[in-house]
Amino acid sequence: MGKRGSGILIHITSLPSKYGIGDMGPDAYKFVDFLSDAGQSLWQILPLNQTNAEYGNSPYSSFSAFAGNHLLISPERLVKTGFLDNNDINHPHDFSGDRVDYNKVAVYKEGLLQKAFERMKDKLPEHQEFQHFCKANLYWLDDYTLFMSIKESYGEIEWGDWPEHLRDRNNEALIETRNKFKVSILKEMFLQFLFFNQWYSLKNYCDSKNIKIIGDIPIYVNYDSADTWANPEIFSLDENRKPDNVAGVPPDYFSSTGQLWGHPVYRWDVIKQSGYTWWIKRITHNLNLFHMFRLDHFRGFVGYWQVHSSELTAINGKWMPAPAEDFFRSLLEHVPAAAIIAEDLGIITDDVRAIINKFGFPGMKVLLFAFGEDLPTNPYAPHNHVRNCVIYTGTHDNNTINGWYKSELSGEDRKRISLYLGRDITADNINWELIRLAMMSVADMAIIPMQDILGLGEKERMNLPASANGNWEWRVKQEQLSGTLSEKLLNMALIYGRYKQIQ
């Protein structure tokens, strides 16, 4: 990277707003101001893709790898741009400021968005900005909007259970269906137009404050998505267009049966023959949204664990090779290497490390993983860091520092941390001690989750992997983003040479 910098990890949904969920409205702009006042140069978020209750509202499980989440559309910005009136948004529900109630938010926001669409639908054929957006995004928008319209008409069942002529994309059937659902398709296009219009305005504001956005790209896509329906040839599907081989990870220290994720694995041979077209389109699309991005489960681009769809656990899988070197060489003809962060957590083999080193991608270090019995040689320990990496106190999948210290550490672990830092460490000061370690690290970039900055406990963690309920709900309150807090972060950024350096 070449220049030091630091920032905060907080997803859009966790920001303040009076509409039940963080969105791209005034409070998002205030948060950018907070980052700027605190001397920060980076804002890391989670995927912006469409979420749904069926998949636990996870931003990592979506009906599209391209479409944006319409729940993040700001009602106030809709008024500002003339798509709604003030009277439409003057009486929001009594939403919680602490947690996102996704069902309640969806009912309210979808009502507002329907109202905006009814007001605009007759004008859209002549709306130049809307038409330009549709034309520029034709390569994914047409399939996505048709997919969502068909899915709604069949009671949200998976596309593999649709009538065969739609499942298999019979050309005449698609033409007929597009005509049948033209109003629904137009609405879906309109929602995506609103989302991207608001997002690019927010991104431009970040640019004006020299704040870089770090996005997140999951390696796999859902089986039940527009991507697999529109591109079945690049996924491992059987003759009935159902998953044949699926992704996961093998048994390890954490799980005797491994993890069975269920996403169809890629047919890398077919993708390679195409010149990696779908992947290049996906990543260049994301790079329009972000300044840089984290490639989730990076080791899967080198070799991936493949399990037959009939298996109930991940035990009986096998490692399969992927054309990593050829893929990244092709990708870097379209995307700068400096935009990519490799999520290389967990057990990383030599072949994966070789690819990361060959292309110079920064990896990740997590302080919560640093203080075991192997502390002297642990790669996450600060004295073993390298410049070309991103240091985190924790990620969205980890406990908070406070929760980790109180409920996950043994007495020996706590003693080891105190010995490492040379002073007594308690639950009251552990969060700022680790934040200071991250900020003083030689790592080019340091990212701190907002919950750790606020010293919050495990109930405020963003996600507990393998749990179905209560995830992705935490929110910060505006009063927590105080001038005192920004000044404390500013002083750290100044003293450790991270003050707004990355540009």
Tell me which residues are annotated as active site: 296, 343, 397
Spacing of C-alpha 67 from chain mean position = 13
Total residue length of the chain: 503
Cβ atoms within 10 A of the Cβ of 45, count?
23
Residue whose structure tokens are 């054929």: 125
Residue whose structure tokens are 């996005």: 215
| Strands of the 318-321 sheet, one edge to the other | 259-264, 245-249, 303-308, 318-321
- Find, among 219, 189, 200, the residue nearest to 47 by Cα: 219
Cβ distance 249 to 297 under 8 Å? no
SS3 content of the chain, % helix, strand, coil (to 5): 45, 15, 40
The amino acid occupying position 378 is N
- CA–CA separation, 68 vs 117, rounded Å? 17
E-strand stretches of 309-368: 318-321, 340-342, 363-366
How buried is residue 61: exposed, middle or buried, by Cβ count under 10 Å (0-12/13-18/19+)? buried
SS3 313: coil
- CA–CA separation, 239 vs 159, rounded Å? 14
Cβ distance 34 to 448 under 8 Å? no
First to last CA, the chain: 10
CA separation, residue 235 to residues 221, 223, 263 (Å): 10, 9, 10
Q: What are residue 119's phi and psi, to 5 degrees? A: -70, -30
Angle (CA) 138 140 142, round 5°: 60
